[in-house]
Each structure stands twice: as C-alpha cells, then as structure tokens.
Chains A and B, each alone.
Chain A
Amino acid sequence: MGDKPIWEQIGSSFVQHYYQLFDTDRTQLGAIYIDASCLTWEGQQFQGKAAIVEKLSSLPFTKIAHSITAQDHQPTPDSCILSMVVGQLKADDDQILGFQQTFLLKNYSSAWVCTNEVFRLALHNL
C-alpha cells in the first residue's frame, strides 16, 4: 500500500466502500454525495444527494452483488480523482451482467465525496 500513489489509494478504498455499501444497504449511500453531485444512471440524470439516494434506493432489486474486474484511478488538475470501474453484477435471480461506472471524487470538508457518477450496463443491441 505504501508504494501506490495517493490517488490510487483513495480511489480504491472509495470504490471498495461504495460497492460494499451498495451491496448491503444502498440507502446508506447518502454520505458520499453532496447537493451538487450529479448521477447519470443508465442515461437518466439526477442531481443532489436526496434525488440520487432516492433513485438508488428505489431500484427494484432486493439482492445485488458486484464483482470488480478492473479499476483505474487518475489525479485531475484541480486535485480531484477520476475513477473508473469495470465489473459484473447480479441482481436477485437475474443473469450476470457487465457494467461500467465512473466516479469523480473531491475533497470536501476533509472527506472524499463523489461529485459526478456515471453508470452503464454493458448491453449492446438491447
């Protein structure tokens, strides 16, 4: 852990935290967003912590499990962190689907929050 650049450490621990929360109780995800946060979920736009949490909580599955295949992290010129995750997920009894998710993290009141998030399923022709 000491060898990795700081943005990678922050990025990967954020990612781990995010999916753990998402898979256990996604209603608790509110803490990582702020009022200026934006989420684009499968093409739908949401803005603000409340709206985002409402969307994520209202997704119709009960069980969800994410498995990360790869993640990448970069520092941005304005001292934010850009993280991208590629992986697979399985909701309830559905088949396993691929997904990709991108986060922009910012240091906000000495905590790292997500200001921008984009989620897409890896589905083609559907």
Chain B
Amino acid sequence: RVCGGRNIMEWSIRHPACNYRDGLGLNKVGWSHKTMVSNKTECPKHSSNFLCLTASFSPFLLLLQYHVDGNRAMFYVEDATTANSLLKVSRKITDKDGYKVTVIMNSCPPPSFINTELRPEDLENLKQCMSKRFDGSQQALDLNNIRIDPDLVSLNIEVALNRKNSMQAVIKIIEENIPELVCLNLSNNRLYRLDDLGEIVNKTPNLKILNLSQNEIKTERELDRLKGLSLTELWLSGNPLCNHFKDQTAYIRSDGQVFSVIGFDIEVSPQPLPPCKTSYFPTDEIKNLILCFLQQYYSVYDSADRQPLLDAYHDGAAFSLSIPFSMQHPSKCSLGEYQKDSRNIKRLKDSTTRFRLLKHTRLNVVAFLNELPKTQHDVASFNVDVNTFTNTLLSFTVSGVFKEVDGKSRDSFRAFSRVFISVPAGNSSLCIINDEMFIRNATTEEIRRAFVAPAPTPSSSPVPTLSATQQEMLNTFSSKSGMNIEWSQKCLQDNDWDFDRAAQIFTELKAQGKIPDVAFMK
C-alpha cells in the first residue's frame, strides 16, 4: 500500500508469538520507497525475524532506506532511543537458519536522502497552519508537536523540526511574517540539536520566552547556539539534560549568561564573564627573575644554534614534548614533524616507548631541542604564570605563540605551553630541572594578535649618540613612564623626540595593554 507523497510502504510485521500471546498486536513498520527490495509483499530474509522483534518496541517504527547488501541488512532510524533499543537486541534473536543476528549501530548526521525540501505550495500551507497557531495579542507562536498538526497531516506535509529543512522553513516564515515574536513554544518536537534553531538569533529580537520542554536535548552545550537571544524564560523540562542537574538550584553558564534553574523554569540574569588576566607573579622579584631568564633563554632558542642552552639546564634535566592527538589527514600546516616525538601517555601505553621519548640529561635535552625547527617567538605576547615557589624551587608555565622560520612548515604559526621546574642558579638566574612542552597550531585569533607589539630593541644594538637635551628628555621620560632606557628611547625616537606626543602614545598603548612587561625591566 502506498500512502502520501513519500511513497511509504507499510508492512505489517508479526512478532512470532503474536498469535499466542496477548498484547502483541500487529505493528506497522514503514520504510521509504528507496528501500524497496522487491515489490512482492514479503519481507527480505534477514528482516522478518529481526523486524518481528522490533514490533514489540513502538507502534510505529520507521526504518529508513532499508536495504540488503550481501548478508547485511542496513537502515537508518531517526532517534537515539530507538537505535539503542534495537542495539540491545543484538545476538538475542536468530534468523530463519538459526544464526544469531548481530546489530551494529553507528550514529551519523542526517543522510542526504532525508533532505526533502518543502514545496512552495507546502510552504504556503505551513504558513497558514502557523498563523492559526499564532496568538497576536501575546505575540506567541505555539509549535508544540507540529508534526501531528491535523492540517499538515491531512495535506501530507511533513514538518519535523528536528530536521534542518523544516526548521529553516519555519524560521523563514517567522522572519518574514512575525519578526516581533515574543514567545515561542517548540515543545515535543524531538529536538536534539539546536544549531538549526540558532538561526533565529537576530531574526527575532523581541523573543523573550522559549519553550524547549519535552525534547531530546542531551547537553546544556546545545544552549550555546542560542547565544544572542535575551530570554527571560527558558523551559527545558522533559529533556535528557535535566538528568544532569542534581538539585533544583543548578546553574548553566552560556556565554556569560547565567541561567538559574528553578524547578526547570529558567530565568536569565545576564552577568558577563570576568576578563582574562595576564601573567601572574607572586612578587616583583620573581617576576624580574623569570622575565629576564625567558628573555635570555628565548634569544638563544630563536638563534641558529641552541647549544648555549646547555647553561640553562641541570645535568639531570628532563624534557618531553606532546602535541594534540588528531585523526585528520596531515596538511601543510600540520604538526607532523613533532609527531614522532610526541609523548602523549594517554595514547602511549608501552613503557619502553614512553621511556625512550623522555629526553634525559642536559646533553640529550639540548641535542633534541637543537633538532626542532628554527623558531621565532613572540616574547612580548608570552603569558607567564607562577605555579609554585619556595626558597629552592620555582615552577612556572609559559604560554605563547611562535613562528617556524625554516623547514617544511616554514611560516606556520604554533602556540605552545611550557612548564618549567627550576632551582636557583648562580648569578641570580635559574637552572631548569624539568621542561615539559605542549605544541599545537595557533588559532586565527592568536595569529592575528601575534607579533603586533613593537619588537623589543635588543640592548646590544648601537645606541646613537644623544644630545644633552635628548639625554635629559630620555631620563625624564623613563622615570615618568616607568619604562627602561631602551624602550623609552625607542618611544621617543619613534615620535621624533616630541615628549608630549611620545607621552600620549605611551599612555594610550599602556591603557590598551599593548606594552609588554619587558619594557619595564630595568
């Protein structure tokens, strides 16, 4: 029997015991016309026993694109609950020959054949249907369980809001006709993802009340898609994510908006995220110590030969490197070169390999560092946090951005995070005992911000002789700004020794946080 525009064939499937047990009625299983294996009214061999079993699940179980390939029968089902139930049946039923049937399940995005666009006449009917469900006095649109709306069903119009095309069509109709919408009810629509709904942000600026109850939303992260809506009420009851809340006063953070969950009715009290602070140093003394150390360390690290770094490491120093694990195919900017030395013990279970990848003794450490691609670090952009310090131990984490300047990945931008554990060394410096580095590709934002600050003037560059006036101006500028001589001089030079202009520029840059800490090191 063919029904409706989608040519669904309906099959009556019997549970094997349905003639003998009560409560097992005939259950319909449908699948779309693409799945027709034969046009005879018989079930394909592997299906009948399997589907007999599915009859006990739901009155209407839709198997999509059912097809038989060799000794495998394959199909899609729409929701996770059904899929999991079918998976449980694996190896519990046998086919006609007595062999156990194995069920394998993979989750996947909606397959292409699902994209049934609504035809223009359907869209017009949908608009009529929606206008019936719209209450102008409240500016409220009720799309609860829209799929079973009698008007739509009688016209065979399939509107499943958990599908992109349906949601897009509905949002378009809202945008074109009722953009002043205040209240939207989307309950009972089997929504499990909100990225299609996210399109509504900016189209309905007055939307204050959103009802997403009785859907299939699994994590509160989905709500991030609704960033930009200034809701006063958000209904989430009857979603799997509700099980995550242990008590009634649980909170969800979404882009700085704090939702308080009271009996699963949500109120939004906007509260922005605190801004991210820069480096942390417990004392100025430690700050100067570390910054000075890093300045020296990285000037060697960025040079052609890293051998002098031997002086920075303890005899028994240890070093390791790791990179993020990725299944993607290697690309030009990939971290392929670092792959073989990546000591990610989450993936490396073999103790021999783990041992081999740990560089031990300063000779090995520096030899290895010398093999890594030549770099240029943006020292000005470093973020340094002191983890712990005692009289005899100082541990700090450095994160920042660098550029590879040679090799296959020349000009690639990387971001790194490096933890140092050090002890005091002679001439008030540091001696590294442990060095652990993590390298990843830099984000576009990081690349944009990198190397923007003026390059620090190395103190070894020739200082042009200054006139007495300039010298005096320099001293004044330095003491007033707090910057050291080199940086003060650069600032003044860049501004043609116009004290006021230099001071103005300095104040502006300082307010914007663009002046690196090294400028203030005397």
A: residues with CB less than 8 A from B are 41-44, 59-61, 91-92, 94-95, 97, 119, 121, 123, 125-126
Contact = CB atoms under 8 A, between A and B. Distances in A.
Contacts of A95: 16, 48-49, 96
Contacts of A123: 16-17
10 tightest Cβ-Cβ pairs between the two chains A and B: A125-B92, A61-B19, A91-B19, A42-B21, A42-B20, A121-B17, A60-B19, A123-B17, A121-B20, A97-B16
Given A42-B21, A44-B22, A126-B53, A94 B16 contact: yes
A42 B21 CA distance: 6
Interface in B109-154: none
A119 B19 CA distance: 13
A122 to B, nearest CB: 10
A95 B22 CA distance: 18
B246 to A, nearest CB: 36
A59 to B, nearest CB: 6
B19 A126 contact: no
Nearest to B42: A93
A125 B100 CA distance: 11
Interface string B14-50: 1111111110000000000000000000000000110
A99 B306 CA distance: 83
A59 B17 CA distance: 11
Nearest to A123: B17
A59 B19 CA distance: 6
A107 to B, nearest CB: 30
A interface, by DSSP: helix, strand, loop or mixed? loop
A125 B93 contact: yes
Interface residues on B, range: 10 to 19
Contacts of B93: 125-126
A59 B20 contact: yes
Contacts of B96: 95
A89 B358 CA distance: 70
Interface of B: 14-22, 48-49, 53, 92-93, 96
Contacts of B19: 59-61, 91-92, 94
A44 B23 CA distance: 12
Contacts of B22: 44
Contacts of A43: 21
A126 B48 contact: no
Q: Which of B15, B22, B48, B49 has the most CB of A within 10 A?
A: B22
Contact of B16 (A41, A60, A126): A126
Contacts of B21: 42-43
B14 A94 contact: yes
A51 to B, nearest CB: 14
A100 B204 CA distance: 67
B48 A41 contact: no
Given A95-B48, A126-B53, A42 B17 contact: yes
A14 to B, nearest CB: 22
B56 to A, nearest CB: 8
Contacts of B92: 125-126
A44 B17 CA distance: 13
Contacts of A126: 15-17, 53, 92-93
Contacts of B15: 126
A43 B16 CA distance: 16
B17 A41 contact: no
Contacts of B14: 94
A92 B20 CA distance: 12
A91 B15 CA distance: 13
A92 B49 CA distance: 16
27 contacts: A42-B17, A42-B20, A42-B21, A43-B21, A44-B22, A59-B19, A59-B20, A60-B18, A60-B19, A91-B19, A92-B19, A94-B14, A94-B16, A94-B19, A95-B48, A95-B49, A95-B96, A97-B16, A97-B17, A119-B20, A121-B16, A125-B92, A125-B93, A126-B16, A126-B17, A126-B53, A126-B93
